[in-house]
């Protein structure tokens, strides 16, 4: 059940980066949930029906990387918005599911919070320029 705040699930294996993104999400006024890999993220998504956006890193240990996770989420939970980030890979838009946004690391925090606000307001990603 919603408490009035939109919910963002952060999927990042690096603890320090994850904590930084959690702080960013909280300061933007959203509720933050954390997962260290795709398997943990899927488990959280299966337990909760109020996740509005998933922010995921690309390179993670476990059964799938962030790109596969993004496709899995789009197929299973189509309304969930997706933001994908990577410090090691520059992705083509065509590698991600429709409606996803990609940010190379290091990203500007303001760019991330603005992208989240646009996606969560219902604007299509094509209406938002990075």
> With 90 as the cut, is the pLDDT of residue 125 above it?
no
Bridge-based pairing of strands 51-57 and 81-86 is: parallel
pLDDT range class, residue 3, cuts 50, 70, 90? low
pLDDT range class, residue 1, cuts 50, 70, 90? very low
Report the number of distinct structural domains present in the chain. 1
> Residue 70: inside a domain, yes or no?
yes
> With 90 as the cut, is the pLDDT of residue 128 above it?
no
Average pLDDT (9-16) is: 96
- CATH number, domain with residue 78: 3.40.50.2300
Q: Within 13 A of 7's CA, how many CA atoms are on the CB side?
A: 16
| Domain membership of residue 102 as a residue range | 7-122
User: Considering the entire predicted model, what is its pTM?
Assistant: 0.90
> Residue 113: inside a domain, yes or no?
yes
Number of CB atoms found within 10 A of residue 42's CB: 20
How far, rounded to the nearest angstrom, does the alpha carbon of residue 114 sit from its chain's CA centroid? Answer: 13
> Residue 35: inside a domain, yes or no?
yes
């Amino acid at each position: 059940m919603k408490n009035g705040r939109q919910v963002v699930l952060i999927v990042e294996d690096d603890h320090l980066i994850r904590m930084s993104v959690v702080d960013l999400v909280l300061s933007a006024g959203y509720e933050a949930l954390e997962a260290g890999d795709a398997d943990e993220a899927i488990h959280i998504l299966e337990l909760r029906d109020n996740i509005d956006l998933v922010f995921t890193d690309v390179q993670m240990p476990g059964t799938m990387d962030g790109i596969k996770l993004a496709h899995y989420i789009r197929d299973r939970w189509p309304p969930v918005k997706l933001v994908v980030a990577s410090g090691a890979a520059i992705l083509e838009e065509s590698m991600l599911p429709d409606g996803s946004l990609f940010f190379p690391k290091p990203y500007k925090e303001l760019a991330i919070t603005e992208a989240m606000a646009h996606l969560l307001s219902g604007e299509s990603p094509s209406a938002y320029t990075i």
